[in-house]
Amino acid sequence: MSIHHIGQKVTFADIKTRLPHESWMYTQNEAHDGEFDAEEVWLHSGDLHISELLLDEGPFLIMVEGHLIVDRYIGNTGSDAAASNLVVLGDLTTPYMLVGGQEIYITGNLYVEDMFWGDYNHGELTVRGNVEGGLLVSTGQYGIQVQGQRKVKRQLEEWEDLGPWQGFDMLELFVPECVIDEDTEEPFPWREEMIKRLQQGQPIIKREYIYAAELAPDVPDWFEDHQFTAANIELLTHPSLLPVREEGELLNSYEFWVDGQFCRGSVYGDEHTEGYFRSLYFQDDHDCALLLKIEPADQASGFPNELAEQGGTPVWMISGAYRYVNSENSEWSVFTEDSPSDIQQLSNRGWDTLLQSVSNYQYARTLISPQRIRDLLALPIVEPYDDYYDDDRHGLWIEDFYFAFRQAGQMFNDVPQPAMLRIGREYTGTQGETKVEKYFYTLHQHADGTEIVLIEYSAQEKEDEEEPLLLELHYVGGPQLLFAVQLLERGSKELMQANQDLLNGEIPYAVESFAKRYWKSKGYLK
């Protein structure tokens, strides 16, 4: 259905004083002696609810003095000079807007559930309130002015911005009928087909890609219950969580920060070591600290040795102590149910954080095979990049990815390091600033001989800034953990394709001369 008559027909001169005085139409008309005064306007007083609004046909201006709801879409097929401008003196709600070539001015909020696409510099969107919804796209220098907040899931300034770092590309975002991908260097969206499908009530995008950043992983609970028990403390200090113990070391621990909460799980010695215990330590960003400990009952005074084991199972004694780390009196005090409220809160929050983080950890170990990282590090294309700590020899660019490599056993500060693959990029932020983000995939062994790929993230404003703290996604979990796994999958494909191209005689763009010499010496290049 094309545009239908809305409200009463008037002239621009009749309604121009009701327009927002900052709008282009008002200022242009005032500056040029009423050049729009005779133009036709369709004016609707009050709220309006319609099925669709096609702006290719119609008057110079459609003006709604109230809220506007459009069930299917607002759009026009040509973005150079659309027929109708649109002013809404209230909120506008619709699932799709595919516009360009006109002024759209909204004095309230704009809610576009799936996609707003403004194209070409002849058009502009102005919203005095907030913009909320899915995908917000401005191409061809289309202008978007938002005086409130932008609460959208994804924002793009050009279609070329789609790619692995957005989590999807154009061919994945749109249904196939809406993309022209034959006889072209790059695919591009087919606006006419999009509007045709919207008129027929058919989808044009795959919504899961827009909202993927909100999809949290379905993490199994590793614990049968969340009670504060010795059995759960045993689980929290299980060898599958602890690193390989250094030779001669009695204390073995893992630790992390999550949302201002520090957690540590430790084991001292073993069942045959004097003073053997298992402990949990919590500290918050207010410097409250709590230590919870379990130790065999026969090590505690007043307990006879025959209670030490029942059928080979230790009988544990639980104890706790707290302190204020940076206070004048930082001595430990016995933790009881009558301890201060901030310590009780630390106990509850620390316990809940640790249980969830350990469940995240056990889930993360199922996502990436350690052998996958080993295989990537063993590719011929990787071989000349043999020094992770050297500015030149640590990695190379391939398409949108910067890959850096660290082989197992490489020394840093006289300490052998585990194998690791890093994927990063440098990009320009919304304010024109240079930003760098990196994902790290590191092999890690546990005390029980199992392995995991640790998944970590860092972001910084510039490459030469001090390295920021890593966000340990294997403990944090959430949508970014899933994105990191997806990014590795996409990066792996690029790296393996570049490796195959190398073996076929085609080298990556702008690689260093030392790498070329190495590949030639190995016979990978003729």
Query: Residue 94: beta bridge partners?
Result: 112
**Which residue is associated with the tokens 């590719």?**
379
pLDDT (0 to 100) of residue 350? 96
- Residue 367 Ramachandran class (φ > 0 left, ψ -120 to 50 alpha, else beta): alpha
Determine the Cα–Cα distance for residues 170 and 178; give it in Å rounded to an integer: 10
pLDDT (0 to 100) of residue 203? 92
3-class DSSP state of 188:
strand
Residues ≥6 apart with Cβ < 8 Å to 35: 28, 29
Determine the Cα–Cα distance for residues 114 and 74; give it in Å rounded to an integer: 12
Q: What is the bridge-based pairing of β-strands 179-180 and 288-296? A: unpaired
**Which residue is associated with the tokens 């919504």?**
207
Determine the Cα–Cα distance for residues 100 and 1; give it in Å rounded to an integer: 20
Q: Are 101 and 81 in contact (CB under 8 A)?
A: yes
pLDDT (0 to 100) of residue 40? 96
Residues ≥6 apart with Cβ < 8 Å to 278: 233, 234, 237, 265, 266, 267, 268, 293, 294, 295
Determine the Cα–Cα distance for residues 526 and 519; give it in Å rounded to an integer: 9
Q: What is the DSSP letter of 120?
A: S
pLDDT (0 to 100) of residue 3? 53
Q: What is the bridge-based pairing of β-strands 261-268 and 277-284? A: antiparallel
Query: Residue 112: beta bridge partners?
Result: 94, 133
Determine the Cα–Cα distance for residues 122 and 101; give it in Å rounded to an integer: 5
Q: In a 10 Å sphere around its CB, with 0-12 CB exposed, 13-18 middle and 19+ buried, how is residue 285 labelled?
A: exposed
pLDDT (0 to 100) of residue 164? 86
Residue 486: enclosing H or E segment and its boundaries?
A: helix 479-503
Domains of the chain by residue range = 8-214, 230-358, 370-521
Print pLDDT tens along the chain (526 aa). 345 678 899 999 999 999 999 999 999 999 999 999 999 999 999 999 999 999 988 899 999 999 999 999 999 988 777 779 999 999 999 999 999 999 999 999 999 999 999 998 888 999 999 999 999 999 999 999 999 999 999 888 888 888 888 888 888 899 999 999 887 778 899 999 999 999 999 999 998 888 877 778 999 999 999 999 999 999 999 999 999 998 888 999 999 999 999 999 999 998 888 889 999 999 998 889 999 999 998 765 444 334 344 455 678 999 999 999 988 778 999 999 999 999 999 999 999 999 999 999 999 999 999 999 999 999 999 999 999 999 999 999 998 999 999 999 999 999 999 999 999 998 877 667 788 999 999 999 999 999 999 999 999 876 556 778 899 999 999 999 999 999 999 999 999 999 999 999 999 988 999 999 999 999 988 7
Residue 479: enclosing H or E segment and its boundaries?
A: helix 479-503
Q: Is the dihedral of CA 355, 356, 360, 363 positive or negative?
A: positive
